[in-house]
Each structure stands twice: as C-alpha cells, then as structure tokens.
Chain A
Amino acid sequence: MDSLHIYQNSYTFIVVFMFVAILLPIVALSAGKLLRPHQPTKEKMTTYESGIEPFQDARVQFNVRYYLFALMFVIFDVETVFLYPWAVAYEQLGIFALIEMLIFIVVLFLGLVYAWKKGVLRWR
C-alpha cells in the first residue's frame, strides 16, 4: 500500500496551507495597524458604500421571485457547463455520451416545462 503513504502525506500540504491561510490575515492586519496613523473622524467611521452616502439598513428583504429566477438560471447554467465540454470532445466520446446528454437535456427540459406551467416565469 505505497499509494497510502502518498495519500496520507498529501494531508501535510493541507495542514501547511491551513496555517498560511490563518496567519496571512492576522499578519497583514496587525502589520497594517502598526504602520498606519490613527485619526478617526465621524465621516471615516461610517460604512463604506462605494463612495455613496449610506442611506438604509443593510438587511433588506428581497422579493422571493428573484430567488426563483436564480434557481431557474442555475438550471440553464449547469446545462451549459455540461454541454460545452461535451460538444468540444464529441468526436472522442461517441454515441454513449450522446445518449447520456439526451437524457440529461430531457430531464432538464421537463424541469423547465414544470416551472413554466406553474407560472414561475411570470412576474406578478
């Protein structure tokens, strides 16, 4: 089981990366704190909002329909993600991949039909 040692050793990298990930913000922020001048004014203490003056509470309720549209978007997004590499490598993949893709598209199409018929695409 030589492969096992490689398997276990590769966790060493993860541990190293974890330490780096934890240390990086701590070091950067504390170095910044030591170097920068500290002169707070009222303007500086407000929330930074791309230069615009903040005018509202940060927690806003969005219309739930955005959420449904986002879900519908994911359907097509995933479809593209799968279809694109398949189309590029079509020559090598052959007939089996074609059948698989057809099944995939039919299933997604059923989902679209369902959403359409249930009125998800209509903004009321």
Chain B
Amino acid sequence: MDIQTLLSFEWGMMAPEFTILIVGILLSLLDLFGKDTWKKSLPWLAVGGVGVAIIFLLFQYGHGDISILGNTYVFDSFAFYFKLILLIATLLILLMVISRTVQQEVRDRGEYLYLLLAALLGGMMVASGGDLISLFVGLELLSLSSYIMVGLRKRDVRSSEGAMKYLINGSIATAFTLFGMSYVFGLTGSTKLVDIAREMSGSLGSGEPVAIIGFIIMFVGLAFKISTVPFHMWTPDVYEGAVTPVSAFLSVVSKSAGFIIIVRIFWGIFGNATFGGSDTLFATMIDFIAVLAFLTMFIGNLVALRQRNMKRLLAYSSIGHAGYILIPLVSLTPVSLENIWFYLLAYAFMTIGAFMVIYILEQQKQSEDISIFTGLYRESPALAIIMTIFLASLAGIPGTAGFIGKFNIFVGAVAADPAQYILAGTMAVMTVVSYIYYFNIMVQMYIRKPQLEGTTKIARLQSVPLILCVAGTIGLGVFPFIALNFFH
C-alpha cells in the first residue's frame, strides 16, 4: 500500500477515536511526569476529551458510509448512534468519578482515568469494526482495561476476588468467541464482515452444521459481555468488588459494547445466510436466543429478590435488563434496532443515576447494604425523590424512559412475525416481579424511620451527574420522539 492510497482514506472520520486516544496518552504522561498541582485537574482533562469527542461525533450526523483500510474501520449510521451512547455514558461516569474529591479507596487515580478512556476506545472500535479481527481487538481492549479497573481497590479482598473471577471468566468467554470466529473463518475464508456475508448468502450445503456450531459458540462467548445466561455468574461478584463508578461502567458501557458486537456480527453475517433453502440462518436460530433471553429474564429478576447488597441487587437487575434487550434481537421487525438503541440509552441514564445515588450514600454511611436507604426521605428528601425516579424508570413506570423502552420492546415482540408471545409474556410477568425489589427500596426510603438522626447533603459536584441522569430519564420518558426522530 503506497502513501497515496493511505492518504486517500477519510481519516477525519476517526476524529472521535483519535481524540480519546490522544487524551488517554496525554493523561498517562501527565500522570507520570506532571507536577502534583496539575494532577488535580486530570479528571477535567478526561471529561474535556470525551466532550470534544462527542462534538466531533455530532458533526458526523448524517454523513454517508465510509470504510477505512479495506473495511477494518467502517462508519455507518449504526456506528454513529451506538457510539453516541458509549460516549454519553462514559461522560456521566467520569463526572461520577470527579464527584468524589477525596479519593481514599483508589490510590492510582491516573490509571483509573485512562483505563476508563482506553476501555471507551475499545468500545468505540467495536462499534466501528467491519472485520472480525478489529472487532475482536476492540473487544479485548475493552475487556483487559475492565479487568484492571475492577481490581483497582488493591487493599480490598472483594475487589481482588472480583477481578480474579472477572479475568478467568472473561478469558474463557474470549476463548469461546475466538473459537466460534474460527469456524466462521474456516467456512468462508475471510474475516471481513462484508465478504463473510456475501460468501454465506449462497447455499451453505454441507457447511450448515459448521455454521450453526460457529453461531452458537460465538453467541455463548459474547453472552459474557452482556452478562446473560450462560455467562452471567460473574456479574454480582464483580459489581460488588469494583468501585461503584466502575460497576456503572461495566453495567452500561461494557454491556452496550456487547450488544453492539452481537448486532454487528449476527445480523451482519447470519442475517444473510440462507438456511435449508428458504429462511436465513439467523431466523432458524431465533429459538436458541429466545431460550437464553427467557432464562436470563427469569434468573436475573428472581435472584434479585433475595439480595440485600445494593450493588448485587443492581447487578441481578442488570442481568434482567439484558434479557429484555435480547427480545428485539429475536423479534425481527424494522424497528428492532431502534428499540435496542432506545433501551440502551434509557438504561444508561437510569442505571448510572441509580449507581450515583448509591455512590453518594455509600461514601457517607460506609455500607452497601439496603439499609443505607432506610429513612432517606427524612434525611434528604431530594435524594429520595431522585432515587424514586430512577427506580420507577428501572421498573418501567409510565412517564419515564424505562417505560417507553419496555413498551417498544413489548409491542415489537407482539408485532413481529412470528410473534414472540411467550417472551412478551415473560417480560410482562418479570417486570411485575421486579416491582417487588424496586418498591422494597422505596418502602425503605419513605416508610421506615432513619436509624440515626442527621441529614444527608448532596455536594455540588455530586449533583451534576444526578441532574443530567434525571433529565435524561424524564426527558426520554416524556418526549421519546426527540430521540426516536434523531435516530431516523
């Protein structure tokens, strides 16, 4: 490849990625060589970098499809919309990190920040990957950074345990994914998604069993990232062990990246592969994903009922939510992608908000037990009302973003052909089950009396992510069409 072809690519389209990369490297150098007085402003540099990346990305709105270096990097509307979720969520999480001015639990604050950015970069590469290799490298960049972030509380036993479990489970899942990819590669002789899709659109013939094995193994491996059955067991331990902003990151950004790669690979490759003459291979494998979605919703929501630790509870609830998001993957309609996108966006706001409230209370009460919410309404009415909004959204009460997301998925499941009545029904029943544990927190907040007299104050920096998350949750709930029109 000579210099002319190299320069002919539109490198400008990678501006958001380059911004994150440069800011990340700058942060690591400043952390190593900078004066101590500068180091206090490092988090703001990270926030600024993500902000600039969002601005660069927004300028690309409506831009035509682009591919760089033979489809290694692709820019299309899919990449644009999902990258936006990743960037917004990371921005909120960085604000969450900043809100704690006295950092006792994490000594390596520099690492904390640039690992977050490195993980974000991995997620963005996943959103823009057009090749199995670049998708895999992006996914691994995200995973490896997350493994370290979980273990950042070095003196904490639970943190080390979580990091170890995450690393081992993650490695197994990665092996699964790679093994599945090797089948697809063996079948088609290419790693480029476009070539694979073209190769598979012909009759597979005796290759059908190989394609099915590749499909199942790859899906099982990627289930780790979105924490669905069969790779959901790590979630509660890891969320409990990690620092709360990192738990929020794993719950939102990492999970979104998992859904992005699943949509990219499975709809991109298997959506075109003909199977048995008439159906696409994806359509024949729908039942497999449907069973996983069913089990995920079931296990996540039922086990959440028995949790006392707030971070474990949110971990199980996040497993349940991952099950809901699998439904539009199964019920194929033209609005499936839109439903996934909207739910992930709503999920980002409400989950980060809920984690933020827990983060504030955890700093003041040195506990993660559900009792931190006891009598919160007497101590701080504002915080109690804010938490109520997030819980209502997680539970799916009308007027919040969570309701619109769930409603769209439900309608999509019923309207699909063939209609997924069982999944839609399971989703409705499990939503009612989830009311029990979400409302239990509300009971603690409003009806129980506080154990100790005193007030809980929200610092100014802490209010920034809270206000943004409340605005997102209510805004998307009342005016969902702003986001949905933006998507079209």
Contact = CB atoms under 8 A, between A and B. Distances in A.
A99 B6 CA distance: 10
B186 interface: yes
B2 A7 contact: no
Interface stretch (B57-65, B203-211, B247-255, B320-328): B203-211
A83 interface: no
A62 B33 CA distance: 32
Nearest to A3: B189
28 contacts: A1-B204, A1-B205, A1-B206, A1-B207, A3-B189, A4-B187, A4-B205, A4-B206, A4-B210, A5-B206, A7-B186, A7-B187, A7-B210, A8-B210, A94-B2, A95-B2, A95-B3, A95-B6, A96-B1, A96-B2, A96-B3, A96-B6, A99-B6, A110-B25, A110-B29, A114-B28, A114-B32, A117-B33
Contacts of B206: 1, 4-5, 8
Contacts of B210: 4, 7-8
A26 interface: no
Given A96-B1, A110-B28, A117-B32, A4 B207 contact: yes
Contacts of B25: 110
Interface string A2-43: 011101100000000000000000000000000000000000
A121 interface: no
Nearest to A5: B206
A113 interface: yes
Contacts of A94: 1-2
A122 B32 CA distance: 16
A80 B210 CA distance: 38
5 pairs of A and B residues whose beta carbons are closest in the complex:
A96-B1, A117-B32, A4-B207, A1-B205, A95-B3
Interface in B165-212: 186-187, 189, 204-207, 210
B487 to A, nearest CB: 35
Q: What is the predominant secondary structure among interface residues of chain A facing chain B?
A: helix
B456 to A, nearest CB: 38
Contacts of A3: 189
Interface in A69-109: 94-96, 99
Interface of A: 1, 3-5, 7-8, 94-96, 99, 110, 113-114, 117
Contacts of B33: 117
A117 B29 CA distance: 10
Nearest to A93: B1
Contacts of A113: 29, 32
A124 to B, nearest CB: 18
Given A95-B2, A113-B29, 6 more contacts: A4-B187, A96-B1, A96-B3, A113-B32, A114-B28, A114-B32
Interface string B374-386: 0000000000000
B125 to A, nearest CB: 15
Nearest to A96: B1
Nearest to B108: A118
A19 to B, nearest CB: 22
Interface in B32-63: 32-33
A71 to B, nearest CB: 14
Contacts of B3: 95-96
A3 B204 CA distance: 12
Contacts of A7: 186-187, 210
A3 B32 CA distance: 53
Contacts of B29: 110, 113
Contacts of A96: 1-3, 6
A20 to B, nearest CB: 23
Contacts of A99: 6
A1 B186 CA distance: 11
Contacts of B1: 94-96
A8 B210 CA distance: 9
A43 to B, nearest CB: 43
A95 B186 CA distance: 31
Contacts of B187: 4, 7
Contacts of A8: 206, 210
Interface centre among A1, A8, A110, A114, by most chain B C-beta atoms within 10 angstroms, is A1
A113 B33 CA distance: 10
A6 to B, nearest CB: 10
B195 to A, nearest CB: 14
B273 to A, nearest CB: 12
A106 B205 CA distance: 48
A3 B3 CA distance: 36
Contacts of B28: 110, 114
A92 to B, nearest CB: 11
Contacts of A4: 187, 205-207, 210
B415 to A, nearest CB: 37
A95 B5 CA distance: 11
Nearest to A94: B2
Interface string B119-147: 00000000000000000000000000000
Contacts of A1: 204-207
A1 B203 CA distance: 9
A117 B108 CA distance: 14
A96 B6 CA distance: 7
Contacts of B204: 1
